[in-house]
Amino acid sequence: VRSTMSTVASFADRLFDAVERTDCRVVLGFDPWIDRIPGELRTSGAQAKDPESTARLFGAFGREVIGLVAGRVPAIKVQIAFFEELGPAGLRVYSELLGVAREAGILTIGDIKRGDIGSTAGAYAKAHTGTGPFAADAVTVSPYFGRDSVAPFAAGPERGVFVLVRTSNPSAPTFQDLEVDGRPLYEHVALEVGRWGQDRGASGYSSIGAVAGATYPRELGRIRSLLPHTPLLVPGFGAQGATAKDVAEAFDGKGLGAIVNASRSLLYAHEKTEGSWKDALLGALETSRTAINEAIRAR
């Protein structure tokens, strides 16, 4: 068993290999919003408002997007909520798109933010890892239950987990900034997540990562310095307002250790341009990629 296991690279190693191969630190966040999907995809039946045809439209959009970004981004983060909204038909498409991305050689991050007591977290882990129906290379999870809710997802270093540490939304400070022994709560969560991630791949990073929002850049830099071996998944760039300079805080001295999610600013870039939606998306991706790489170099 050991020799079989050792042939599977850790999630962290696969992630940072893909970052170096693509020279891209941007992860495409696939958040399908029905009203913003490019008009040319909404052909006849796909325009209908029922969940089945909306799910088909999300699937068609997703496959096009994956085809466009394959080889250009290290990973795609798929937000399950927008599929769950459509019921079982939507979740079938969620599952399919994870498979399409995997076949295209793109690492998959299931943005699920699940969390529960151990036995229930085990059921979620069976759903979203390994051979489960919604298996992704990594998932996001919530920290409130403590280690019980995270451990089933982190059964081996080949599985990636990103634990919420500092979220990017306006009401994030309500609990996350409460002061405990002279430190905000999110730093305690960060340190605990760092303790959970004792595995180290060749990259020097654990497969237990943290979500650290870029809309709070000072906090992001603090989390980076507290967690030298923890990969950071950084939301909040683009539509949520964080800049390339803000997200540069998340990276180590070699420009690794983090990935930056961009969703709406890429998927709906066509709303602000004249050309095709594909050119708009690829243009926005290239602009983001180079801006982040340059901001890291400029530090």
Active site residue ranges: 113
Residue 233: CB minimum distance to its own copies, A: 14
CA angle 226, 163, 298 (to 5 degrees): 50
181 torsion bin: left (phi>0), alpha (psi -120 to 50), beta (else): left
DSSP annotation of 237: B
Q: Which is nearer to its own copies, 48 or 117 (CB)?
A: 117
| CA quadruple 125, 126, 127, 128: dihedral, nearest 10 | 50
Q: Which is nearer to its own copies, 60 or 145 (CB)?
A: 145
Nearest CA-CA partner of 108 in 145, 136, 141, 127: 136
Q: State the helix-helix crossing angle for 277-297 and 51-69, rounded to 10 degrees.
A: 50
Q: Which is nearer to its own copies, 179 or 274 (CB)?
A: 179
Residue 181: CB minimum distance to its own copies, A: 8
Residues ≥6 apart with Cβ < 8 Å to 49: none
Q: Is the CB of residue 234 less than 8 Å from the CB of residue 255? A: no
- How far apart, in Å, are the Cα atoms of 210 and each of 166, 192, 230? 8, 11, 7
Q: Which is nearer to its own copies, 20 or 116 (CB)?
A: 116
Q: Which is nearer to its own copies, 195 or 299 (CB)?
A: 195
Q: Which is nearer to its own copies, 141 or 244 (CB)?
A: 141
| R_g over Cα of the chain | 18
Rounded Cα–Cα distance for residues 71 and 90 (Å): 26
Residue 13: CB minimum distance to its own copies, A: 28
Residue 143: CB minimum distance to its own copies, A: 6
Nearest CA-CA partner of 140 in 18, 265, 16, 234: 234
Interface positions with its own copies (CB under 8 A): 31, 51, 79, 81-82, 84-89, 91-92, 95, 113-118, 120-121, 123-124, 126-127, 132-134, 142-149, 164, 167-176, 178-181, 185, 188-189, 192, 235
Residues ≥6 apart with Cβ < 8 Å to 57: 32, 34, 37, 41, 42, 46, 47
- How far apart, in Å, are the Cα atoms of 129 and each of 28, 155, 157? 20, 10, 12
Residue 94: CB minimum distance to its own copies, A: 9
Residue 158: CB minimum distance to its own copies, A: 20
